[in-house]
Structure 1
């Protein structure tokens, strides 16, 4: 297809009669929060089955968040100066080296790291936790509500099954650590399935009381709440850029140096060594020990710019924006027949917030996972995307033990919010969900090993090679 033909196809789609999804999106809405930040996908229009386009509604932010627009702009500015780092004599190499090291300092400052903590750049949270797993000198205790990234890496793990309330679950963790001491307690900062936020500072107190360290999987928490490593007593923190509006292939592990300096190099290769001989190797200490090879300069730059933007938006503003949308989402789901919202704790997350303060209020990120009384959530998710331009996710969300403990069905459907979400996004989703649950999809779908797909998919696909 020529470039002219491609543009003609796009224009035909744009001018085609709108579907019901467009009509629903155009109806007047009650006042509510608009987007808090400008994201790279702002205003994105997507085709729907039968012709027409609608504004895309991204409610799959918990999986991967679009880039902040300012992050995309920063990456574009930096790319002409990209070069290999550390030993290059040229100006671009020296500049790239400075950008990586400045990004390391930005991460440390943003998360409240101690002066002697290491900031190791990794590919993502999974990579960071696998690195840490190689350094733990003993057992690791985890909860069953963890993402697989915080279940599978630990070579010697003991799993505590969550109980109906958070208080009872914390008591069970306390008892397990007292019964058989462990080197590490590793917990999520917030569930990627239910959005429930755990009291990290309190968990740190429990771990330290039994001589254990604590690691926090902050993949979900950090993009939504400010984290303070030193103040909360966190020993290790892992997070991903792609969930924090910097989807350029980088993450980080922040934490104490002694275990990491004693661990095998995460990757064996150039940059991780002081000297290589035929009969041996002298490995470096510090961050270089675990960052062999050419680092992801662009990914590090993107993370630093994204964290700066989160700071500019303000902790209180981000929290107020998300809490208003989360209430709107959960209230709307509670009113829908045939839908059940999953929760890890009977009374929500009672007690303290992540920093240990406050009592009584549910602390929950903008995440809701539902199961249906009847029908397939996979088919529902496919129809939301294909007929209404709404992105959600169906499955067990790489948290199988936790999901199976809560759910009565084999899979759930998750909607997740972020800084670019709006009240209209929530309303579009609730309207479409109600219509699909009541009437079913308007088009035919087939199920394959990869999931549900439209039997006839007439949506044009953009070409990226022109």
Structure 2
């Protein structure tokens, strides 16, 4: 297996490209932030892979619903009935967006991490799980803690990783394959339908971490033969604290309830509890109705886009990112040209701390990127990113002007250097002289009541 992970050669200087406009309106697109050098700039959000802004349609739906919020499932009041209807409609909308089968369940959770932890506790005792080391911690740590899990080394690209997983599945010893639909480090997309068929042929099931894939691609669990998929609202332009696990009900109905509490029971006596089945079994406590409604609205808004619109938008922006960054001296793009990838691009700047570069981009240009190992330490280490990388990630609110700003700012950094001096400030990289207000004082505090 090749150990080379960085672009082997420098491409020709980039040519002018057709401007790409944002695909959908998002909240905060015109937000202005202060610069450490003085003045302000409109924030360029290139950190969508961590948390995406709310779609304007999602914010409008939340504003519409909030006045009608009340308790769900057990309230007799009219607004309780309204909220219950909204919550259950949201469950149907999320399931429809993902092509859920008639007997599948949609369990609302807090996030992808929460959903995958729930599923990990539902795997039958003694069942073996297969996962690759290229995964985000959300889809690695819940499985890695079990002695019944095998973690295989990923390949030089998504195709080789898929082949390695298929070969291991063929041994017939696994009950579940857990994979990410798209890498949060390189953006590479795995062939999910192919892996699902390989898993089923070997008597196993497949669970997909959809956090990075679903903001960029449509997935149909029935068509693609996926048993479970997990997702996060905050990745899918609905940052209101909800996620979901969607898929087969049998393992979930047989598992111990994820949380013990109100709503998860049919009857409680002095010496026994009869637990509910279906989603109720794992949704104890008052559910996040607003988060569920927001997630459903995001799904509906994305589903209304023309076929291929997401792929064309992100493909153009990714190409612009890769071409622009690869043309700069000392800048290397990790796995720059995979066969299939979403809008996630990781790069390094020779001889410079990634945290220094990220701090510079924020302080002097108002650009947000992510630095570090992206909660995928084993994969990052295998790519040679032991000291971390810089990740630029696009979304439906990104336009080519945002990418141009990033490329120009990195070019300035590697050619003329930053304007300010940088170092560790309270344990974090930042400018040693900073004209910006402290983050905690940037917005006025909430007015105290009483």
Give the TM-score taking structure 2 as reference length: 0.91
Q: Over residues 175-220 of structure 1, what are the superposed CA-to-partner deviations in whole Å (9 max), with x where a residue is unaligned? A: 2223351110000000000001111001101111110000000001
What SS class does the counterpart of residue 242 from structure 1 fall into? Answer: coil
Q: Which residue of 2 aligns with 1:75?
A: 62
Query: Which has the larger helix fraction?
Result: 1
Unpaired runs of 5+ residues, structure 2, are: 1-15
Residue 193 (1) aligns with residue 185 (2):
yes
Query: Which residue of 436, 443, 449 maps to 1:462?
Result: 443
Q: Over residues 80-111 of structure 1, what are the superposed CA-to-partner deviations in whole Å (9 max), with x where a residue is unaligned? A: 11111001011111000000100000011000
Structure 1 moving runs of 4+ over 3 Å: 165-168
Q: Which residue of 1 aligns with 2:3?
A: none
CA distance in 2, matches of 1:465, 1:279: 47
Q: Is residue 342–residue 407 contact of structure 1 (8 Å, CA) maintained in 2?
A: no
Q: Which residue of 1 aligns with 2:52?
A: 65
Q: Which residue of 2 aligns with 1:416?
A: 393
Q: Is residue 371–residue 407 contact of structure 1 (8 Å, CA) maintained in 2?
A: no
Residue 282 (1) aligns with residue 274 (2):
yes
CA distance in 1, matches of 2:31, 2:385: 36
Residue 151 (1) aligns with residue 151 (2):
no
What SS class does the counterpart of residue 232 from structure 1 fall into? Answer: coil
Q: Which residue of 2 aligns with 1:161?
A: 153
State which drifts further: 314-323 or 331-340: 314-323
Q: Residues 386-465 of structure 1: matches in 2 within 5 Å?
A: 386-407=363-384, 409-448=386-425, 450-460=427-437, 461-465=442-446
CA distance in 2, matches of 1:184, 1:464: 48
What SS class does the counterpart of residue 94 from structure 1 fall into? Answer: helix
Kindly tell me: are residues 458 and 167 of structure 1, through their superposed partners in 2, closer, same or farther at Cα, counting changes over 3 Å? closer
Q: Is residue 317–residue 403 contact of structure 2 (8 Å, CA) maintained in 1?
A: yes
Q: Is residue 90–residue 293 contact of structure 2 (8 Å, CA) maintained in 1?
A: yes
Q: Which residue of 2 aligns with 1:372?
A: 349
CA distance in 1, matches of 2:306, 2:242: 23
State which drifts further: 241-250 or 276-285: 276-285
Quote the RMSD (CA, aligned, Å). Answer: 1.5
State which drifts further: 170-179 or 288-297: 170-179
Kindly tell me: are residues 88 and 199 of structure 1, through their superposed partners in 2, closer, same or farther at Cα, counting changes over 3 Å? same
Q: Which residue of 1 aligns with 2:13?
A: none
Kindly tell me: are residues 165 and 221 of structure 1, through their superposed partners in 2, closer, same or farther at Cα, counting changes over 3 Å? closer
Kindly tell me: are residues 165 and 64 of structure 1, through their superposed partners in 2, closer, same or farther at Cα, counting changes over 3 Å? closer
Aligned residues between the structures? 423
CA distance in 2, matches of 1:173, 1:30: 38
Q: Residues 67-466 of structure 1: matches in 2 within 5 Å?
A: 67-137=54-124, 138-154=127-143, 155=146, 156-179=148-171, 181-343=173-335, 348-349=337-338, 362-407=339-384, 409-448=386-425, 450-460=427-437, 461-465=442-446
Query: Which residue of 30, 40, 60 maps to 1:53?
Result: 40
Unpaired runs of 5+ residues, structure 1, are: 1-28, 350-361
